[in-house]
Amino acid sequence: MTLKYPVERFVLMDSTCTAEFSSVYGEGFDSKIVGWDNYLRENSGDMYEKYVEKFPTMAEIPDVGSLDDNTFNAEKVIALNPDVVIMPNWEFMWNGEATKEALARMDQAGIPVVFLDFYMEPLENSTKSIQLLGKITGKEQRAQDIVDYYEEKVNSVYSRLEKIQGKKPTVYVECAYNGPDTYGISYGDVAWGDIVKKAGGDNIAEPVLLNKSKALSAEYLVNQSPDIIILTGRNWSTPGSLKMGYTFTSNVTKSTMTPFVNRPGWDTINAVENRKVYGIYHGYCSDVFNFVALETFAKWFYPEEFKDVDPVDTLKEYHRKFMPIDYSGTLVYRYY
């Protein structure tokens, strides 16, 4: 299969990679997306809103369905006549059969498919994915700038961590999509759990969850009494869920986080006693911003050693340098 170069017409499967695509492509990116799924709109509505506000025509990009729920419409993709379809690697993990079938269809139609990975091995493959995007868009220099920036930040975190001796702080991460009454999933050695580990934390979920994501019991959490609690938020509609993202003020984040902190028994947990409860934007687990997540976690775990690091500044800088939309809202949050 050959790729027409430079590629002009893109279909983004997993439209949440719009952040990466637009970072790499730069000016004019919005007119190059000829089709996508509804992921960005459904799962990162706050970010979608910011894009559409600035580039109103993006609201009219056709929805081609998704492999997740069997709505992927191969015929529609072919009709849009794209030069390439960009897919996330995790489709293989979650929808293996459907992905293979879609690939076969695309193959028959002569449409090349390119896979990116910001999820399965986030801190290893993010830069490779960015470089690949650079290659197919013909924006190799921009891609290299992003990769350099990314690597500088990540390596700076790693080199500081190397010098730190002693006991690692114990950490609990919960996806706060449920209200405070029902515990949301925590992560074993995957996704957020992977970032916790790389940022020098000791993930309390790993021994029981291994590489799965499931809810821990309240009692296990209180019994483990972790040093740090991190809740992940988004613009979920679930009542009581933690609200974070491009369109939420820190007051909203604070008021939705309070009921979590007041959960029964939490007053006996080290993290609460030592006032170390934090929030982070859930989307940052599976996109290029995972370097900010790494930096943020490292700062929360070792505040002394990372005193001069400010993740919000990093975020603002990245948006200024590479993103078409401005930094806004609440993406990392310290409760106390």
Partner 1 sequence: MNVKAKEAYKKMTGRKYLYLLSISVVIFLTFILDIMTGPASLSASEVISTIFFPASSERSVQVIVWTFRLPVALMAIVTGITLGLAGANMQTILDNPLASPYTLGISAAAGFGAALAIVFGVRVLPFTDTLFVPVNAFVFSLISCMAIYGIASFKRATSETIVLTGIAVLFLFNSLLALLEYTANPEQVQAIVFWLFGSLTKTTWTTLGITVGIVLMVIPLLAMDVWKLTALRLGDDKAKSLGVNVEKMRLKGLILVSILTSTAVAFVGTIGFIGLVAPHIARMLVGEDHRYFLPFSALSGAFILSTASVLSKAVVPGIVFPIGILTSLIGIPFFVWLLLSKKRGYW
- CA separation for the pair 94, 175 (Å, rounded): 19
Binding of partner 1 by 181 (CB under 8 A):
yes
Shortest reach from residue 328's CB to partner 1, in Å: 22
- Work out whether 175 is an interface residue with partner 1 (CB under 8 A): yes
Are 200 and 170 in contact, with CB atoms under 8 Å apart? no
Q: In this chain, which of 2, 159, 165, 237 binds partner 1, going by CB under 8 A?
A: 237
Q: Are β-strands 277-281 and 332-334 bridged in parallel, bridged antiparallel, or unpaired?
A: antiparallel
Q: How far is the CB of 223 from partner 1 (least distance, A)?
A: 5
Residue 261 binds partner 1 (CB under 8 A): no
Asked if 215 interacts with partner 1 (CB under 8 A), we say yes
Residue type, 119: Y
* Binding status of residue 223 toward partner 1 by CB under 8 A: yes
Binding partner 1 by CB under 8 A: which of 4, 54, 214, 275? 214
Token readout for 188 is 């074993």
Applying CB under 8 A, the site for partner 1 has a residue count of 36
CB neighbour list of residue 310: distance below 8 Å, 6 or more residues apart: none
Applying CB under 8 A, among 31, 57, 155, 268 the residue interacting with partner 1 is: 268
Terminal-residue alpha carbon distance, the chain: 54
Which of 127, 256 has the CB closer to partner 1?
256
Question: Looking at 209, 285, 294, 309, which residue binds partner 1 (CB under 8 A)?
Answer: 209
Specify the residue, 137 or 235, whose C-beta has the smaller distance to partner 1: 235
Question: Residue 70 to residues 81, 91, 268: CA-CA distances in angstroms?
Answer: 21, 12, 46
- 3-class state of residue 234 by DSSP: strand
- Residue entry with tokens 């220099």: 141
Residues 17, 218: Cα–Cα separation, whole Å? 34
Q: What are the residues whose beta carbons fall under 8 Å from the beta carbon of 51, sequence distance 6 or more?
A: 18, 22, 30, 40, 58, 324, 325
Verify binding: residue 233, partner 1, rule CB under 8 A.
Answer: no
User: Which stretch, 19-27, 52-60, 173-181, 317-325, contacts partner 1 (CB under 8 A)?
Assistant: 173-181
Query: Which region among 73-81, 130-138, 190-198, 238-246 touches partner 1 (by CB under 8 A)?
Result: 238-246
Asked if the bond preceding 6 is cis, omega within 30° of 0, the reply is yes
* 236 in contact with partner 1 (CB under 8 A): yes
Residues near partner 1 (CB under 8 A)? 42-43, 68-69, 175, 177-185, 207-209, 214-220, 222-224, 236-240, 259, 264-265, 268
